[in-house]
Structure 1
Amino acid sequence: MDYNNYLPKKRLPYAVRIRNRIIVFSVFMGLCALLGTCIFGEKAPPKPAEEDEYAETVDSTAANAAPLQTEQLNETGIFPKADSEDLVNMQATVAAAVVPENPAEADVIDSTHIKTQKDVFLAEKIDNLLRRFRPEHAVILMVDPQSNEIIAWGERRNDHVQEKPDYFIKNTFPAASLAKTVTISAAMESNRYSLTSQIPMIGSSIHLYKNQLRVKEGYKGPFIELQDAYARSANPPMGIVGMNVGAERLRSAAKKLGYNTNFPGALPPRSNYAPPDTGYGLAEVSSGFTEATTLTPLLAAAQVRAILMKKPLEIPWAANLDGYAPKSRIALDVGKFSDNTYYGLREAMIRTVTHGTARKNISTRHMARKNYEALNIGGKTGSLDGHDPYGRYEWFMGFAQSKADPSKAVVLVIMQVHDLQGMRSQPATQVAGMLFNYWAHQYLPKKGK
């Protein structure tokens, strides 16, 4: 008996089997195509129009394509039973795809406002970011703190980048948590608080309820340092500080920061800060939890510059922004803080970037490590719903200063308004990190130079 007949037969390699299957399938499809041609291909289809002719007559094709194609298709017999109305509808669909009825409107770039700015490269960068991120409303302002001159700016509203900075001087924007700068200033000026003073932290930091302002005798709950309450934008602790400091000191600090001041030529218009003498309303104003406190972007830049330079308030100027900023430097008689208060404000703003609300985005995530490590960066964030224009307001005001050469610095203010029902733009802190990084590439000395 031959036992070899009962042994398992060796199969062809897998690659060979797949190749053979492909060959068989290709031959089968070829036979099917040949058979179909013999049955249905009695008449050759008409020769298609030349590509050059089609390119030159797109409009006329869209208008006359329906009857032409209907006649051709009926002659060829490809769809011998098709209704002519169906063919017309099909051709209309094709024509609409070729020539859209309402083509998208292009965003025309007019670079006139860019070329007239002090720093054209920064202005172009701002313009690119506004077109890229497309915030609902936005204004970006950059100032040289040494000269207090506006070096670059950009604005977007009505779905377009604007040629004029109307938002510089608009005084309906709620200051939101930027008003906490007044509270911490008044606290340090009173000599009752320092950056490390412990403040009761009751409940959530983003809310402000009356029971969060009542500190019971013998309170043993959590505490937060004053600088961290500012950096993390915690509402209840800042409300408690404002109530303890009092409305009079708050008004005095607000005056030194330019609130409730009628500036020469109304540039900018009056920003409002009006705390009541007592009660929950005093805590609201102290924490920025109210729309009644308003701030113009131009005044926000002036506040940051005063803190960074430890000088009295002075509104940023520009030679070619008539009607939107002063044409030259103007001294203002609003008083100044003590050196200790200026130091405390600067450190609290730096802590906002290192440990607070700006930590995530003003970092090596959006900045080159060498630039981030070469700069002292400080700021304050804020957000609140408003109505003129309507939406969610988001602020960042801050500075970047070279550690090696403190004379190299820049002040930055960003204000965005997001549609409450739509998609939000990139956070203001992310835009700030990208602009600080770009500024550092331009102004910080390169290695080996």
Structure 2
Amino acid sequence: MLAEHSKSKKIFDNGFQISKNADLASKIYGKKNVINATLGIFYNDNEEMHTLDIVNDEYKNLSGKELFNYSSSISGEELFIEAVKQYTFGKNYARSLENNFVEVIATPGGSGAIYNTFKNYINPGEVVLLPNYMWSSYKLMSKEVGGGHQTYSLFNKKGKFDLINFKNSVIELAKIQKNLVIVLNNPCHNPTGYTLSTYEIKGIMNILKEACNMCNIILINDIAYMDFNVKKNDLSEFYRDLPDNFLLIVTFSMSKSFCCYGLRVGAQIAISSSKDTIENFLDASLYTCRSVWSNISKGGMTLFSNIVLNRKKYRQLLLEQSYMRNMVKERADIFLAEASAINLPILPYKSGFFITIPFSQGLEKEIETKLKNENIFAIIIPGGIRIAICSIPKYKIYNLAEKIKKVLY
């Protein structure tokens, strides 16, 4: 009875299934003997999902009306929108974003922000340009809205962002499409943990500004992991001197930074030098919000704004986030040092939840089985093992690189 366009739909979420397999193995062999490196959730060294005290306290203090009522607007609570701007761009965002128009729409997580953008900016038959190492849901969302996808090579032979391949990929599509939607996941890219340098961002923007002479450019920067960047985040190069037909969409999420994975609160932040472009964005995006999810958790939005817009609570938040960031860095440093010592290849990593070990494509099933036999559970992506360093206690990191190398070689 399915509509024709839905008859081919079938999804097997490999990540959640492998995580279930890890839980089963823990019951059989004991938790200490199993490494669960699957899901992007921060666990403490007791292997318990970590939560933030400031977030827990604020949530418990919300009234029933604040928790359960509808939002006052489809676009989100006014204080939430203000808090998102301050959190993402700093308190002086009006100065840093000058000469641009900005609108924010609340979405169910970063996923909702990405879906909204794909829905309203990919024309039928067009493809979105994605990195060759990516969060797989980008592909699903593009297909869901009637588009396709092509990939650009993330790294060159020197382990830097491949600006040459990126340019060739952009220009090729810009010549034949009316709109070109491009996805970056920066900083702390999933699944590699790579973060673009200022030089690389400038190079990317120069390429995209050139492409604006051929088609409309919509650049999505997914910043879901921004608070795990060991260096200060600076997004300003992305919105400097924008052409009229360039639209920047920053997709924000509370999930990782606030340990609120299931609360599903995020935002779609649109930046353009064109007032018409931003007004059109607002009209179309609100229509999509209303037709798909109506509005999002008032409690989640209130929780966010109450913390971010309160100086004392915000300081506490930053302190607790620094604990998580430092813990992830400690784990990554151990793994990377041991991998380097035994010459285990790693895709370029800077910071963030994930580290990826590359291998020849075509061996995915074989490697997944071999890892499982060693009680190591990780997400296998095309040509790589994604290790969720965020979820592995420090004592289990030691010798993990050696175990993986034995599986691969």
TM-score (norm 1): 0.24
Which is higher, the Rg of structure 1 or of structure 2? 1
The higher relative CO (CA closer than 8 Å, separation ≥ 6) is in 2
TM-score w.r.t. structure 2 length? 0.26
